[in-house]
Amino acid sequence: MFLGNFDVDVEHQQRIGHLFGPLPPEMRNDTAFMDRIQSYIPGWDVPKMSRDLLTNHFGLVSDFLSECLNQLRWQSRVSTLQGRVFFGGALSGRDATAVNKTISGFLKLLYPAPDTPVPDEELEWAVRLAMEMRRRVKEQQKRIGAAEFRNTHFSYVLGPEGVEKFVVTPELQSEDSIGTDPLPPGQVWTISPGAMDEHPGLFRVETNEGPGNGVKILNKPAPPAFIESVRCAEQNLYARSQELVGDRDPRSHEFTLQLRSFDTSKSGSQIGVSVLIALCSALLQKHIRGGLIIAGGVNLGGSIEPVYNAVSIAELAIEKGATSLLMPVNARKQLYDLSDDMATKVDIQFYSDMRDALLKAMVE
């Protein structure tokens, strides 16, 4: 376990290097050394020691505590995870071992008696924190450029019927940026092609699902073009629910939608495919791939609307930091005009219909 701290703020340290930068030169870039660190505790989150935490006596207290910790050292609480927590595919080998040992350590501190039942909420707290601390180590290896450490999408499922949840490190995650981590169910990054007097703009569609029926838009006032995109997406979800969401009945669920703009563009026009994918993702409780931006509209009849400024959309996606762009196949020929330099910076994929777009957007 590694406790990290710096003389500069975390954001600056991330800009000039990585979190292991203050180590001596012989080990600061040694990925094999880093891989043997079970977890990284962010020192900037640890409160300073105060006199209230100190004692004025010594001997029996410290000796007794030392013996307690020594006895706990030879015990394990990994059995608590069996049948209750299931790790995602990215967590294996030394990563899984490190996370298991860290979780075991947390549970031993919380419940020193080996047979004490651990509530689900406290078990999940230990799992999330252990994964976050281990992922912090892996992210530094990725920053150095080691190819074998690129997949850091750590996730877990609590209970046999639980939903997969991904774990991020807070200092690497910005709410307003397109990261590589999968988005929560119901959230989608999208680009609107704009209107007559409007340039293409980046948006995020955020959807929540609950008991009830219908689709409600939280934006007040809601842009008319966005309302039209939502109406087309809703009707297509109802009409094609079998091929999109299987045996789930979208009419027995209420969806709340919010459109967040990250540019001067505000209309949210021609983003029906993204809205539809957000609705399906929320209903299926499936994550959307990280780093992905979706473009394209759909009409009431289910046909994909043509995109007329595909190159501008691709250039904006690259500018915003996307790693993948999902576009209707009718835009393929336009993208021959995309410069070679731009084409190498983003993975452009095409879809032919709504089901094809949904399958390519969701995490496998």
Query: Does residue 22 belong to any structural domain of this protein?
Result: yes
* Structural domain containing residue 70: 2-172
Tell which of 126, 143, 172 closes a domain. 172
Residue 180 lies in a domain: no
Domain-located, residue 356: yes
Final residue of a structural domain among 172, 206, 236: 172
Q: Is residue 182 part of a domain?
A: no
From the list 103, 112, 96, 95, the residue with the least C-alpha distance to 79 is 103
CATH number for the domain including 293?
3.30.230.10
Same domain, 225 and 348: yes
In a domain, 313, yes or no: yes
Structural domain contains residue 181: no
- Verify that 354 and 275 share a domain, yes or no: yes
* Residues 134 and 74 grouped into a single domain: yes
In degrees to the nearest 10, what's the CA dihedral of 260, 263, 269, 275?
-30
194 and 64 inside one domain: no
DSSP 5-34: --SS-HHHHHHHS-TTTTS-HHHHT-HHHH
The answer to whether residues 12 and 130 belong to one domain is yes
Domain boundary residue, one of 111, 138, 172: 172
Question: How many structural domains compose the chain?
Answer: 2
Task: Specify whether 158 is located in the same domain as 212.
Answer: no
| Judgement on whether residues 83 and 151 belong to the same structural domain of the protein | yes
The reply to whether 178 falls in a domain is no
Considering the domain architecture, whether residues 63 and 152 belong to the same structural domain is answered as yes
Residues 240 and 338 in one domain: yes
User: In this structure, are 140 and 200 located in the same domain?
Assistant: no
Tens place of pLDDT for every residue, the chain, 364 residues? 566 666 666 666 666 667 777 777 777 777 777 777 777 777 766 777 777 767 777 666 666 677 777 777 788 888 888 889 999 877 878 888 889 988 988 888 888 888 889 999 999 999 999 998 888 888 777 767 654 555 677 888 888 878 778 887 776 555 556 877 788 899 999 999 987 677 889 999 999 999 999 999 999 888 899 999 999 999 999 999 999 999 999 999 999 999 988 888 888 899 999 999 999 999 999 899 989 999 999 999 999 999 989 999 999 999 888 999 999 999 999 999 999 988 899 999 999 999 999 999 998 7
What is the three-state SS of 227-295? HHHHHHHHHHHHHCHHHHHCCCCHHHEEEEEEEEECCCCCCCCCCHHHHHHHHHHHHHCCCECCCEEEC
Same domain, 264 and 119: no
Per the domain annotation, does 179 fall within a domain?
Answer: no
Are 154 and 193 in a shared domain?
Answer: no
Angle (nearest 5°) at CA 11 between 322 and 291? 15
| Distance between CA atoms of residues 122 and 270, nearest Å | 44
DSSP state, residue 220: S
